[in-house]
Structure 1
Amino acid sequence: MDTTLRITEIFHSLQGEANTVGLPTVFVRLTGCPLRCVYCDTAYAFTGGQKTTLSTILAQVAAYQCRHVTVTGGEPLAQPACLDLLRHLADQGYHVSLETSGALDVSGVDPRIVKVMDLKTPSSGELDKNLYSNIAHLTPQDQVKFVIGDDGDYQWSKAIMAEHALAERCQLLFSPIAGQQNPTELAEKILRDRLPVRFQIQLHKLLWNDAQGK
């Protein structure tokens, strides 16, 4: 329990996206990310943070008395000790999700953890960072998120879904980039094409107009 991680913040809010949207959740935001997506809304987590022991993190999470915990970033898997944190949270009975870019290997993630994994679309600027071997480690409880900025992203996402039979493997999320992709247009395309995906708008931005939701 002497392991340390660099933490940007730990806070309590409503889950803003994924399939637990709206549920009270404790967010543990780790510092650092090897990607630089053009739409990133958490660039403040790229650097800085505070080295925090695993026992301190667990105590801070417990103080909120909340069943759901999301480990996010940055890119949480950029810190190897993230795997220890995830395992200890699951051991303590939390419903734990991991928000990851999909650029780093997820094979070591405890199977009790719900993986919410991006596949970076062309407009992200990080298309070449997708680690497609991660798809083999996804299960029906996991989710793949496509962040859509334009029709090119939409068509690419449809093609990737088909190529990797993603709808048969895990849950799928389509999310419009705020201020860039009209959400109504994206919703209508999903309905038109009968896509088996969950359309989502980031709830925290609607409620608080910020990246964190607190």
Structure 2
Amino acid sequence: MSQSDPGAQLRISEIFFSIQGETRRIGLPTVFIRLTGCPLRCTYCDTSYAFSGGENMGISEILGRVAEYAPRYVCVTGGEPLAQKNCLLLLGALCDAGYEVSLETGGALDIGAVDARVMRVMDIKTPASGEVEKNRWGNLALLTPHDEIKFVLCDESDYRWAREIMSQHRLAEKCEVTFSPAQGSLDATQLAEWILRDRLAVRMQVQLHKVLWPNEAGR
């Protein structure tokens, strides 16, 4: 169990209720807590508005906002949530409150202290993301079957690179792996054909929320 400080503050970009568009929980009604700030600048980032701004909120206030939606699932995202040290307290408090909690992290920061009850969804940044050098490879040893790995792919070179990383680190044996096309950069059907051709043990995924609400940033 966590030892959460209900008065601990975090910088929050937004809290909203929507359909989970990614991960094994795709399609499920979910409350999203988007934290402000990110140390990365990926070429395909679609939430750059969360790099700054937002408002300071205490954990008890955040829990109150979440409870208004009476959800089962809560996703803590960003930006990069782990860039705020009190994110760890928030994750524990959400688990203590009985929610099924997931964390979306860019993989550049240590995930080792994240509450074991949280499903960690960790990006591995590809060359075309512009942030491949920021990958914290030590995180791979911390992943369990409860977690997920995500590659966002911009082109065929990214695909080949991700395929090699999967083989080199035996990622499919650690947890579920998702390949997603970067919107506007890689055709989803093309990616699906490569996956089938190479018989990769990955989940092919498009962002459902962008299909449902194509003109609403961040939703």
Please, what TM-score do these two structures have when normalized by structure 1? 0.98
Q: Which residue of 155, 166, 173 maps to 1:161? A: 166
Rounded Cα–Cα distance in structure 1 between residues aligned with 2:7 and 2:94: 15
Q: Which residue of 1 aligns with 2:60?
A: 55
Q: Deviation per CA, 1:62-101, whole angstroms, max 9, x where unpaired? A: 1100100000000000000000000010111100000000
Rounded Cα–Cα distance in structure 1 between residues aligned with 2:20 and 2:172: 23
Contact 1:72 1:99 in 2 (8 A): yes
Gapped runs of 5+ residues in structure 1?
Answer: none
Offset, 1:211: 3.5
Gapped runs of 5+ residues in structure 2?
Answer: 1-5
Contact 1:204 1:211 in 2 (8 A): no
Counting matched residue pairs gives 213
Q: Which residue of 2 aligns with 1:12?
A: 17
Q: Summarize the alignment of residues 112-123 of structure 1 with structure 2, pairs less than 5 Å apart.
A: 112-123=117-128
Q: Which residue of 1 aligns with 2:100?
A: 95
Rounded Cα–Cα distance in structure 2 between residues aligned with 1:212 and 1:171: 24
Q: Which residue of 2 aligns with 1:106?
A: 111
Give the counterpart letter for 1:139 in structure 2: T
Offset, 1:27: 0.1
Q: Which residue of 1 aligns with 2:211?
A: 206
Please, what TM-score do these two structures have when normalized by structure 2? 0.96
Asked if 1:35 is matched to 2:57, the reply is: no
**Secondary structure of the corresponding residue to residue 19 of structure 1:** coil
Q: Which residue of 2 aligns with 1:187?
A: 192
Q: Deviation per CA, 1:16-38, whole angstroms, max 9, x where unpaired? A: 11111110000000000000001
The two structures, once aligned, show a CA RMSD in angstroms of 0.6
Give the percent of matched residue pairs that are identical in Structure 1 and Structure 2.
59
Structure 1 outlier segments of 4+, above 6 Å = none
